[in-house]
């Protein structure tokens, strides 16, 4: 059954964000493919599924929440919709399309439809071919900055979206909005995870 058709018929693409169990099971029953249960402002459904799959592969749920648990995909959609200009938005679309085109070429389908082993392989390739950020001083890169590919830039954005979410920032990382003083040399064992702010 064609996934798009079902979504159109059930009104999901038209903007329904809340739906009952019967619709849920209808979608579940006719396919195994990933689905989208929210309406993006910027992404197409296909792009949103790609972003979600990438986020879940890079920052999955472990004992702590994963990127999708903190709705990093929805936040990234909002950020691109409201803080990118048209040229930057088109650039994002083109890069996602190119990333998926590579997945199709190598593994036969878009990233979100790949099995776990294929996803891992695709990400390993991306890791090796995506450039590295130069170190920064006061927010500016130092030295020669090599070109950054889509994957590395997206990974950086994913980390930002994840670590600046309220749940991770307040409950998983060490949240201390008013330290009150400075302890210049503290055993890491007394702190644990890094400070969130």
Partner 1 sequence: MANYNIDAKKDMTYDAIVIGSGISGGWAAKELCEKGLNTLVLERGRIVEHVTDYPTMNLDPWDMDYRGRLTPEQRKKHYKNIRSGWVGADTEHFWADDEANPYTEVKPFLWLRGHQMGGKSLLWGKQTYRWSDLDFEANAKDGHGVDWPIRYKDIEPWYTYVEKFAGISGEALGLPQLPDSHFLPPMELNCVEKHIKGRIEKNFPGRNMIIGRVAHLTRPLNGRGQCQYRNRCSRGCPYGAYFSSNAVTLPAANATGKLTIRPYSIVQSVVYDDKKGKATGVRIIDAETNEDLEYSAKIIFVNASTLSTTQILMNSVSNRFENGLGNDSGELGHNLMDHTYRVGASGIVDGFDDKYYKGRRPNGIYIPRYVNLDEKTKSDKFLRGFGYQGGGFRGGNAANIESFGAEYKDSILKPGPWEFFITGFAECLPYHDNKVSLNKEVLDKWGQPTLSIDAEFKENEKALNKQIQEDAVEMLDKAGLKDIVGFDNEHPPGYGVHEMGTARMGKDPKTSVLNKFNQVHGAENVFVTDGACMTSSSCVNPSLTYMALTARAADHAVSELKKRNL
Q: Which stretches of the chain bind partner 1, using CB under 8 A?
A: 57-60, 62-64, 66, 75, 78-79, 82-85, 120, 123, 127-128, 132-140, 142-143, 152, 155-156, 159-160, 163-166, 169-170, 172-173, 176-189, 191, 193-195, 197
Cβ contact 3:31 at 8 Å: yes
CA 27 vs CA 10, 12, 37, 96, 113: distances in Å: 9, 11, 11, 25, 16
Tokens 């950086």 correspond to: 156
**Measured from the CB of residue 14, what is the shortest distance to partner 1 in angstroms?**
25
**Measured from the CB of residue 115, what is the shortest distance to partner 1 in angstroms?**
15
Q: What's the rounded Cα separation, in Å, for the pair 46 and 41?
A: 13
Phi, psi of 80 (to 5 degrees): -70, -40
Nearer to partner 1, 82 or 105 (CB): 82
Nearer to partner 1, 12 or 168 (CB): 168
**Measured from the CB of residue 159, what is the shortest distance to partner 1 in angstroms?**
6
- Selection from 39, 141, 157 nearest residue 88 by Cα: 157
Nearer to partner 1, 14 or 178 (CB): 178
**Measured from the CB of residue 144, what is the shortest distance to partner 1 in angstroms?**
9
């Amino acid at each position: 059954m064609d996934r798009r058709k079902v979504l159109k018929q059930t009104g999901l693409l038209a903007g329904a964000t809340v739906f009952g169990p019967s619709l849920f099971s209808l979608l579940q029953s006719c396919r195994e493919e990933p689905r989208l249960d929210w309406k993006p402002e910027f992404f197409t459904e296909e792009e949103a599924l790609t972003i979600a799959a990438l986020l879940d592969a890079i920052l999955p749920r472990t004992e702590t929440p994963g990127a999708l648990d903190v709705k990093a995909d929805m936040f990234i959609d909002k950020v691109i919709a409201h803080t990118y200009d048209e040229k930057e938005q088109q650039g994002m679309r083109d890069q996602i399309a190119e990333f998926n085109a590579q997945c199709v070429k190598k593994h036969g389908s878009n990233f979100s439809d790949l099995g776990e082993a294929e996803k891992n392989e695709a990400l390993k390739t991306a890791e090796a071919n995506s450039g590295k950020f130069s170190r920064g001083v006061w927010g500016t890169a130092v030295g020669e900055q090599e070109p950054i590919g889509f994957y590395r830039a997206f990974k950086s954005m994913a980390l930002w979206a994840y670590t600046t979410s309220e749940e991770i920032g307040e409950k998983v990382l060490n949240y201390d909005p008013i330290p009150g003083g400075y302890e210049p040399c503290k055993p890491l064992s007394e702190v644990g995870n890094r400070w969130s702010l």
